């Protein structure tokens, strides 16, 4: 086999990245989208501007993302995953169950009531009626996945005899909802323009922990 033929063989399909699957290119596009969304907001941003900011052609952009909405959700997921790691790590920072739940609830509310998360939820809710698959994907990879992770933590505490719970997923959702009381919904509807204070977060989450353990604690 000649050197030219050998080179062609090595650069054949097996050695090429599948279209739309190059992680470096995907990261490059998301970085460009992040810059454009931050500067212009979701509504004003265009796919042409995102392509230019990312340094790719519009054709390449559409290979990775079908539209601006799916691109935005992918960006949300990237930012959310980076932040969620720290939130769930708080569950293991204190062996005292009440303290662990309090630290987790407080960290979660700082995340959910922040400007980025609130804006993301508003946008997804706004497009969910005409793009239900996108809304479902956002929910399954965000709130639902988080509830399952908390349910796993609660199940471990049940095994240790610290909690008495028949349905740990239901209990997890209940704790998440309790921790958000009076803080998240006003933010989503823009009734409150600023995130809740640290004192407010601690007060509401402390009440959530107290109610939760009164129901499920042993």
Counting Cβ atoms within 10 Å, is residue 59 exposed (0-12), middle (13-18) or buried (19+)? exposed
Q: What is the pLDDT of residue 65?
A: 93
Q: What is the pLDDT of residue 10?
A: 47
Which domains occur in the chain, in start order? Answer: 17-65 (1.10.10.60), 76-218 (1.10.357.10)
User: 196: helix, coil or strand?
Assistant: coil
Q: What angle do CA 122, 70, 52 make, to 5 degrees?
A: 105
With a threshold of 0.85, does the pTM exceed it? no
Instruction: Tell me the C-alpha distance between 111 and 217, whole Å.
Output: 27
Q: What is the pLDDT of residue 14?
A: 43
Q: What is the pLDDT of residue 16?
A: 40
Instruction: Return per-residue pLDDT of the chain as tens, 218 residues.
Output: 555 555 444 444 444 445 567 999 999 999 999 899 888 888 889 999 999 999 999 999 999 999 998 898 888 888 777 777 789 999 998 999 999 999 999 999 999 998 888 988 888 888 889 889 888 988 998 899 999 999 999 999 999 999 999 999 999 999 999 999 999 999 999 999 999 999 999 999 999 999 999 999 99
């Amino acid at each position: 086999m000649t050197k030219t033929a050998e080179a062609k063989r090595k650069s054949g399909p097996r050695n090429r990245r599948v279209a739309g699957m190059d992680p470096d290119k995907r990261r490059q596009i998301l970085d460009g989208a992040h810059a454009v969304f931050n500067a212009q907001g979701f509504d004003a941003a265009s796919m042409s501007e995102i392509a230019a900011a990312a340094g790719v052609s519009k054709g390449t952009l559409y290979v990775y993302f079908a539209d601006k909405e799916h691109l935005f959700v992918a960006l949300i997921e990237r930012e959310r995953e980076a932040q969620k790691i720290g939130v769930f790590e708080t569950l293991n920072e204190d062996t005292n169950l009440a303290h662990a739940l309090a630290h987790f609830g407080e960290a979660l509310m700082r995340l959910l009531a922040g400007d980025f998360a609130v804006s993301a939820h508003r946008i997804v809710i706004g497009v969910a009626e005409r793009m239900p698959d996108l809304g479902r994907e956002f929910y399954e990879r965000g709130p639902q996945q988080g509830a399952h992770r908390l349910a796993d933590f609660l199940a471990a505490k049940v095994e240790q005899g610290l909690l008495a719970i028949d349905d740990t997923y239901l209990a997890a959702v209940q704790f998440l909802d309790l921790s958000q009381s009076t803080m998240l919904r006003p933010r989503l509807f823009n009734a409150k323009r600023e995130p809740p204070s640290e004192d407010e977060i601690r007060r509401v989450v402390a009440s959530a922990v107290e109610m939760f353990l009164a129901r499920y604690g042993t």
